[in-house]
Structure 1
Amino acid sequence: MESYLHDWRQDALNKAQYESAIFVGDKLLALTGDDKDAFWLAQVHFAMGNYTRAQALLSKSNLIARNASCRYLAAHCLIKQSRFDDALAVLGERNPTHLIPSSANKRKATGSGPAGGVANVFDRAKECYKDAVRIDVQCFEAFQQLTKNALMAPDEEWEFLQSLNFDSIAVSTGSGSEADGNSDMDAAQEAADFTRMLYSTRLSKYRNPEGFATAVECLTSHYRLGGNADLLLARADLAYTQCRYEDALALTSSVLEEDRYNFGAYPLHLACLFELRMKNVLFLVAHDLADQHPEEPCSWLAVGVYYFATDRIAEARRYFSKASMMDAHYGPAWIGFAHTFAAEGEHDQAISAYSTAARLFTGTHLPQVFLGMQHHAMNNMAVAEEFLKTAYGLCREDPLLLNEMGVVCYHQDRPRDAATLFRKALEVADDMDCDPQAWLSARTNLGHAYRRMRLFREALDQFDEVLRLGGKNPAVFCAKGLIHLERGRPDEATVVLHEALAVRPQDPIATELLSTALAEMTASRHVLQLPGGNAKSRGDHAMGEVGDGDEMDNEDATEDDEDDEDDGVDAETMAGFEQELLQRRDEAQQRLAAALQNGGSSTRSRRMQTSSRSKSKGRGKGKMRSSARDDNDEEDEAELEVGEAALATNDDPFEDDSVARHRLRRTMGSNIRQKRKARSSRAVVRQSNSRKRPLNPTGNAIVAQNWDKKQTLSQNYRRLGLMNRLHNPAGGVERLGTDVEAARKQAAALAAAQQTVDLLRINGQAGLLQGGAAAVAAARSATSKAAAAGGVREVRVERDADGKIVRIVRDEAEMKTGSAVLRPIDDLLSVMENQEEWAGFGDETAVVTSSATTPVVAALEAMARQPVGPHHVRHQSQGERSWLQTLADHYGTAEPDDNTLAAMARDRRRNPMQRTAADLGRRLANFRANGGSVTA
Structure 2
Amino acid sequence: MADSGKINTTFSENLLEKLRSIVIKMMDIGEYKTALYWSNKILSYPNHDKTDVYKQAKCLYHLKEYHRASHCIKSRHFHEVDLACRYLAAKSHYAAEEYKEAFEILDVGENYGTLKKMEFELETCEENRQLESSVCLLKGHIYEALDNRSEAVDWFKKALLLDAYCYEALEALVQHQMLNKQEEEDLLNSIRFENQCDKDEARLIKFLYQSSLKKYAKPDELKIPVDFSNFLSDNVDILTSLAERHYYNCDFHQCIQLTNKVLKDDIYHTQCLPIHISCLMELQKTNLLFDLGHKLVDLYPESATSWYAVGCYYLMINKMDAARRFLSKATTLDNVFGPAWLLYGHSFAIESEHDQAMAAYFKASHLMKGCHLPLLYIGLEYGLTDNNKLAEKFFQQALAIAPNDPFVLHELGVISYQIQEYTTAYKHFTSALNLIRDKQDATCLPEKWEPLINNIGHVLRKLKKYEESLEYHKQALVLSPLNPSTYSAIGFVYAWMKQYRNAVNYFHKALALKRDDQCAKTMLDKCMEHLSTEISLLDDELPIYESEAYMKKYLASSNLNEESSTDDQLLDDNDLERSLSENETENNASGLDVEMDLSP
Interval containing the TM-score (normalised by the shorter chain): 0.7 to 0.9
Instruction: Tell me which residue corresponds to 1:241.
Output: 248
Q: Post-superposition shift, 1:505?
A: 5.0
AA of the residue aligned to 1:15: I
The within-5 A match list for 1:205-244 is: 205-209=215-219, 213-214=222-223, 216=224, 218=226, 221-222=229-230, 224-244=231-251
Q: Post-superposition shift, 1:98?
A: 8.2
Alignment partner of 1:193 out of 199, 203, 224: 203
Instruction: Tell me which residue corresponds to 1:464.
Output: 474
Q: Does 1:140 align with 2:167?
A: yes
Instruction: Tell me which residue corresponds to 1:275.
Output: 282
Distance in 2 (alpha carbons) for counterparts of 1:466 and 1:372: 25
Distance in 2 (alpha carbons) for counterparts of 1:534 and 1:34: 106
Distance in 2 (alpha carbons) for counterparts of 1:291 and 1:534: 74
Residues 23-45 of structure 1: CA deviation (Å, up to 9, x unaligned): 33344454544333322222111
Q: Post-superposition shift, 1:320?
A: 0.8
Q: Does 1:5 align with 2:14?
A: no
Alignment partner of 1:150 out of 164, 171, 177: 177
Instruction: Tell me which residue corresponds to 1:427.
Output: 434
Q: Post-superposition shift, 1:392?
A: 1.0
Distance in 2 (alpha carbons) for counterparts of 1:64 and 1:204: 39
Q: Which runs of 5+ in 2 are unaligned?
A: 1-13, 118-124, 543-553, 574-600
Q: Post-superposition shift, 1:506?
A: 4.8
The within-5 A match list for 1:572-611 is: none
Alignment partner of 1:481 out of 491, 498, 508: 491
The within-5 A match list for 1:61-80 is: 61-80=76-95
Alignment partner of 1:253 out of 257, 260, 265: 260
Distance in 1 (alpha carbons) for counterparts of 2:204 and 2:417: 47
AA of the residue aligned to 1:106: R
SS of equivalent to 1:454: coil
SS of equivalent to 1:195: helix
Instruction: Tell me which residue corresponds to 1:361.
Output: 368
Instruction: Tell me which residue corresponds to 1:344.
Output: 351
Residues 114-152 of structure 1: CA deviation (Å, up to 9, x unaligned): 110000011111111111101111111111111111111
Q: Post-superposition shift, 1:407?
A: 0.8
Q: Does 1:34 align with 2:49?
A: yes
Instruction: Tell me which residue corresponds to 2:328.
Output: 321
Distance in 2 (alpha carbons) for counterparts of 1:322 and 1:235: 30
After superposition, the Cα gap between the structure-2 partners of 1:262 and 1:246, relative to the gap in structure 1 and judged at 3 Å, is: same
Distance in 1 (alpha carbons) for counterparts of 2:387 and 2:451: 22
Instruction: Tell me which residue corresponds to 2:4.
Output: none
Contact 1:297–1:324 (CA under 8 A) maintained in structure 2: yes
After superposition, the Cα gap between the structure-2 partners of 1:44 and 1:424, relative to the gap in structure 1 and judged at 3 Å, is: same
After superposition, the Cα gap between the structure-2 partners of 1:10 and 1:105, relative to the gap in structure 1 and judged at 3 Å, is: closer
Distance in 1 (alpha carbons) for counterparts of 2:565 and 2:190: 63
Distance in 2 (alpha carbons) for counterparts of 1:498 and 1:91: 74
The within-5 A match list for 1:449-848 is: 449-524=459-534, 526=537, 536-538=562-564
Contact 2:307–2:330 (CA under 8 A) maintained in structure 1: yes
Greater share of helix: 2
RMSD: 2.9
Contact 2:310–2:326 (CA under 8 A) maintained in structure 1: yes
Q: TM-score, normalised by structure 1?
A: 0.53
Instruction: Tell me which residue corresponds to 1:919.
Output: none
Q: Post-superposition shift, 1:213?
A: 1.5
The within-5 A match list for 1:95-134 is: 105-107=128-130, 108-109=132-133, 110-111=135-136, 112-134=139-161
Q: Does 1:334 align with 2:348?
A: no
Q: TM-score, normalised by structure 2?
A: 0.80
Q: Which runs of 5+ in 1 are unaligned?
A: 171-187, 547-936
Q: Post-superposition shift, 1:474?
A: 2.8
Alignment partner of 1:377 out of 370, 374, 384: 384
Residues 76-108 of structure 1: CA deviation (Å, up to 9, x unaligned): 111122221222233349998989xx9784211
Instruction: Tell me which residue corresponds to 1:47.
Output: 62
Bigger Rg over Cα? 1
Residues 471-530 of structure 1: CA deviation (Å, up to 9, x unaligned): 253322222222232233334433433443444455322222122223333444528899
Contact 2:251–2:446 (CA under 8 A) maintained in structure 1: no
AA of the residue aligned to 1:452: K
Distance in 2 (alpha carbons) for counterparts of 1:146 and 1:397: 21
AA of the residue aligned to 1:388: F
Distance in 2 (alpha carbons) for counterparts of 1:148 and 1:446: 35
After superposition, the Cα gap between the structure-2 partners of 1:261 and 1:518, relative to the gap in structure 1 and judged at 3 Å, is: closer
AA of the residue aligned to 1:257: K
After superposition, the Cα gap between the structure-2 partners of 1:419 and 1:521, relative to the gap in structure 1 and judged at 3 Å, is: same
Contact 1:444–1:463 (CA under 8 A) maintained in structure 2: yes
SS of equivalent to 1:206: coil
After superposition, the Cα gap between the structure-2 partners of 1:338 and 1:363, relative to the gap in structure 1 and judged at 3 Å, is: same
The within-5 A match list for 1:286-325 is: 286-325=293-332
Contact 1:329–1:360 (CA under 8 A) maintained in structure 2: yes
Contact 1:524–1:537 (CA under 8 A) maintained in structure 2: no
After superposition, the Cα gap between the structure-2 partners of 1:9 and 1:540, relative to the gap in structure 1 and judged at 3 Å, is: farther
Alignment partner of 1:263 out of 270, 273, 286: 270
Instruction: Tell me which residue corresponds to 1:204.
Output: 214
Instruction: Tell me which residue corresponds to 1:160.
Output: 187
Instruction: Tell me which residue corresponds to 2:586.
Output: none
Q: Post-superposition shift, 1:219?
A: 7.3
After superposition, the Cα gap between the structure-2 partners of 1:145 and 1:219, relative to the gap in structure 1 and judged at 3 Å, is: farther
Distance in 2 (alpha carbons) for counterparts of 1:311 and 1:359: 28
Q: Does 1:20 align with 2:20?
A: no
Q: Aligned residues: percent identity?
A: 28
After superposition, the Cα gap between the structure-2 partners of 1:469 and 1:220, relative to the gap in structure 1 and judged at 3 Å, is: farther
After superposition, the Cα gap between the structure-2 partners of 1:468 and 1:3, relative to the gap in structure 1 and judged at 3 Å, is: same
Instruction: Tell me which residue corresponds to 2:453.
Output: 443
Contact 2:256–2:279 (CA under 8 A) maintained in structure 1: yes
Residues 826-847 of structure 1: CA deviation (Å, up to 9, x unaligned): xxxxxxxxxxxxxxxxxxxxxx
Distance in 1 (alpha carbons) for counterparts of 2:331 and 2:541: 75
Distance in 2 (alpha carbons) for counterparts of 1:417 and 1:392: 15
After superposition, the Cα gap between the structure-2 partners of 1:133 and 1:462, relative to the gap in structure 1 and judged at 3 Å, is: same
AA of the residue aligned to 2:34: S
Which structure exhibits the higher relative contact order, with contacts defined as CA atoms closer than 8 Å and separated by 6 or more residues? 2
AA of the residue aligned to 2:81: R
Q: Post-superposition shift, 1:22?
A: 2.4
After superposition, the Cα gap between the structure-2 partners of 1:219 and 1:64, relative to the gap in structure 1 and judged at 3 Å, is: farther
Distance in 2 (alpha carbons) for counterparts of 1:443 and 1:431: 15
Contact 2:504–2:527 (CA under 8 A) maintained in structure 1: yes
After superposition, the Cα gap between the structure-2 partners of 1:98 and 1:425, relative to the gap in structure 1 and judged at 3 Å, is: farther
Q: Post-superposition shift, 1:217?
A: 5.2
Distance in 1 (alpha carbons) for counterparts of 2:177 and 2:47: 46
Number of residues paired by the alignment?
522
AA of the residue aligned to 1:167: E
Contact 1:153–1:363 (CA under 8 A) maintained in structure 2: yes
